[in-house]
A and B are shown apart, each in its own frame.
Chain A
């Protein structure tokens, strides 16, 4: 991780409570341009809340969240739209709009985010390109209900990356998928990270996902993943974070994570297949 790289996302002592119950407790970290961060944690540890807070969908009770240098906690909802237009988000349930076709779903951010300024004639080619990227070129006219779970997840990835965001947030992208489909999805995320050179936050409870993110890179010439510790660029590093009951209990690289003797942290590493 380069210390000179621009700060993309910074949490400063962020606390979020739901009906009095703390969901995030004093979380602080910083992701710089080009970083990959893998956030591990068991169910209910606050992973999804952390991503939604980074996107400004949830306002913290205390602390500051800086995205591209701007404090989200001080902005009104309509002012957040400009910042969100530079962030891609894959939701846990894909969150494709049921009433829209896959083409309309992927086109949605291009059409509705004013800050993107996408001319109408460019919308369809960009949508087609994004769907080709996730190998779903023939699904433009289909509705989400006509696709399998894995295909819906890939369509949602296309929607997340169609705007070429500088920061991409993935919420449990492999949850509920079979191992082969899960690997396909992870390969797409590494490809998206290395092709668009975006800062990436990956929330997952599967250590294998983080392992792929940290140890593989996308070879554009051969069109497939290849082993490469520390991702695509030598200066970029994958950082692991572990959340436990809303607290950030670990932040470090894969070697440090694997060396940890903390029972909660080592539980994730033992999942490794």
Chain B
């Protein structure tokens, strides 16, 4: 009986060992990537290259996402609000929903799909072809050269992309409201403007910053721990995309809870 319990405990410990080591190595990578921001050498060219890749490269899909989510929100909200005679509040609903939730979340999901997976596959390919080892052998810290520039670039570009997505979404809401719902433009924009409070803007800008850290570090983490050739690269890419997306939803809830708690106080 005692031996059986000991065996169960050992199996449980074995099961937990993997996830605990993974979390530990993720935070170790995150810590080193952040500390490297303040250490030389600084790879400015790589930061600019990544900003172009993440920011400019993601712009078309982010604009399209903002455009259609804003349009859909305006259509759906106008329909519901008209039942209560509150169609003039359409701008309010679109603005709050987009700035607080949909803008940051959908933009982060798009960037996760495009860039977290891209980072994982790029770094994973470098890992399995020994380029990461070569980098270390040739006097370069791979975290400083590869991870820190991606972290900085994502933290700068994702909030900017979110602002663009928010604006394009609100603009699309105006097009739908004024074009199809016969809502006056002045009413739409004034209700939008009045609806947004500082806490909404803070929430709308804090979220993409937190998501940027998660998206970039998850992509780099899975890329750097890739093993097993091209199949391993494929697995790393999928895992990075899935983990980053799930964490975006989890963090969305936690941040919303944090702001809700403040409002209650």
Task: Say whether A89 faces chain B, with CB atoms less than 8 Å apart.
Answer: yes
Task: Say whether B139 faces chain A, with CB atoms less than 8 Å apart.
Answer: yes
Write out the residue numbers on chain B whose beta carbons fall within 8 Å of the beta carbon of A115: 139
Write out the residue numbers on chain A whose beta carbons fall within 8 Å of the beta carbon of B137: 55, 57, 84, 87, 89, 91
* Distance from A164 Cβ to chain B, minimum over Cβ atoms (Å): 15
Write out the residue numbers on chain A whose beta carbons fall within 8 Å of the beta carbon of B138: 84, 108-109, 112-113, 159
Within 8 A of B (CB), among A88-123: 89, 91-93, 95-98, 108-109, 112-115
Q: Is the CB of B139 within 8 A of A95?
A: no
Write out the residue numbers on chain A whose beta carbons fall within 8 Å of the beta carbon of B131: 95-98
Given contacts A93-B129, A95-B129, contact A84 B134 (CB under 8 A): no
Looking at chain A's contact residues, the main secondary structure is mixed
Query: Complex Cα distance A91/B141, Å?
Result: 18
Task: Say whether A81 faces chain B, with CB atoms less than 8 Å apart.
Answer: yes
Query: Complex Cα distance A205/B97, Å?
Result: 64
Q: Is the CB of A109 within 8 A of B139?
A: yes
Q: Which residue of B lies closest to A112 (CB)?
A: B139
Looking at chain B's contact residues, the main secondary structure is helix
Write out the residue numbers on chain B whose beta carbons fall within 8 Å of the beta carbon of A95: 129-131, 133-134
Task: Say whether A77 faces chain B, with CB atoms less than 8 Å apart.
Answer: yes
Query: Complex Cα distance A173/B66, Å?
Result: 52
Query: Complex Cα distance A108/B131, Å?
Result: 12
Write out the residue numbers on chain A whose beta carbons fall within 8 Å of the beta carbon of B129: 93, 95
Write out the residue numbers on chain A whose beta carbons fall within 8 Å of the beta carbon of B140: 112
B130: contacting residue among A92, A98, A112, A114, CB under 8 A: A92
Write out the residue numbers on chain A whose beta carbons fall within 8 Å of the beta carbon of B134: 89, 91, 95-97
Task: Say whether A238 faces chain B, with CB atoms less than 8 Å apart.
Answer: no
Task: Say whether A85 faces chain B, with CB atoms less than 8 Å apart.
Answer: yes
Task: Say whether B136 faces chain A, with CB atoms less than 8 Å apart.
Answer: yes
Query: Complex Cα distance A113/B130, Å?
Result: 18
Q: Is the CB of A85 within 8 A of B133?
A: no
What interface size band does chain A fall in? Answer: 20 to 34
* Distance from A160 Cβ to chain B, minimum over Cβ atoms (Å): 9
Query: Complex Cα distance A112/B129, Å?
Result: 20
* Distance from A73 Cβ to chain B, minimum over Cβ atoms (Å): 16
Query: Complex Cα distance A78/B40, Å?
Result: 12
* Distance from B28 Cβ to chain A, minimum over Cβ atoms (Å): 13
Write out the residue numbers on chain B whose beta carbons fall within 8 Å of the beta carbon of A87: 137
Query: Complex Cα distance A113/B133, Å?
Result: 15
* Distance from B39 Cβ to chain A, minimum over Cβ atoms (Å): 10
Write out the residue numbers on chain A whose beta carbons fall within 8 Å of the beta carbon of B141: 77-78
Q: Which residue of A lies closest to B134 (CB)?
A: A95
Q: Which of B129, B131, B133, B134 has the most CB of A within 10 A?
A: B134
Query: Complex Cα distance A94/B243, Å?
Result: 32
Q: Is the CB of A85 within 8 A of B136?
A: no
Q: Which residue of A lies closest to B131 (CB)?
A: A95
Query: Complex Cα distance A207/B99, Å?
Result: 68
Write out the residue numbers on chain B whose beta carbons fall within 8 Å of the beta carbon of A98: 125-126, 131
Q: Which residue of A lies closest to B125 (CB)?
A: A98
Task: Say whether A183 faces chain B, with CB atoms less than 8 Å apart.
Answer: no
Per-position contact with A for B196-210: 1 when CB-CB < 8 Å, else 0?
000000000000000
Q: Is the CB of A114 within 8 A of B133?
A: no
Task: Say whether A126 faces chain B, with CB atoms less than 8 Å apart.
Answer: no
Q: Is the CB of A84 within 8 A of B139?
A: yes
Task: Say whether A124 faces chain B, with CB atoms less than 8 Å apart.
Answer: no
Q: Is the CB of B136 within 8 A of A113?
A: no
* Distance from A171 Cβ to chain B, minimum over Cβ atoms (Å): 9
Per-position contact with A for B99-132: 1 when CB-CB < 8 Å, else 0?
0000000000000000000000000011001110
Instruction: Beyond A84-B139, A108-B138, A112-B139, list 7 extra A-B contacts (CB 8 Å).
Output: A77-B141, A84-B137, A89-B137, A93-B130, A97-B131, A112-B138, A112-B140
- 14 examples of A-B residue contacts, CB within 8 angstroms: A84-B139, A87-B137, A92-B130, A95-B130, A96-B134, A97-B131, A97-B134, A98-B131, A109-B138, A109-B139, A112-B138, A113-B138, A114-B139, A159-B138
Q: Top 10 A-B pairs ranked by shortest CB distance? A: A113-B139, A95-B134, A95-B130, A91-B130, A112-B139, A109-B138, A81-B139, A93-B129, A89-B137, A95-B131
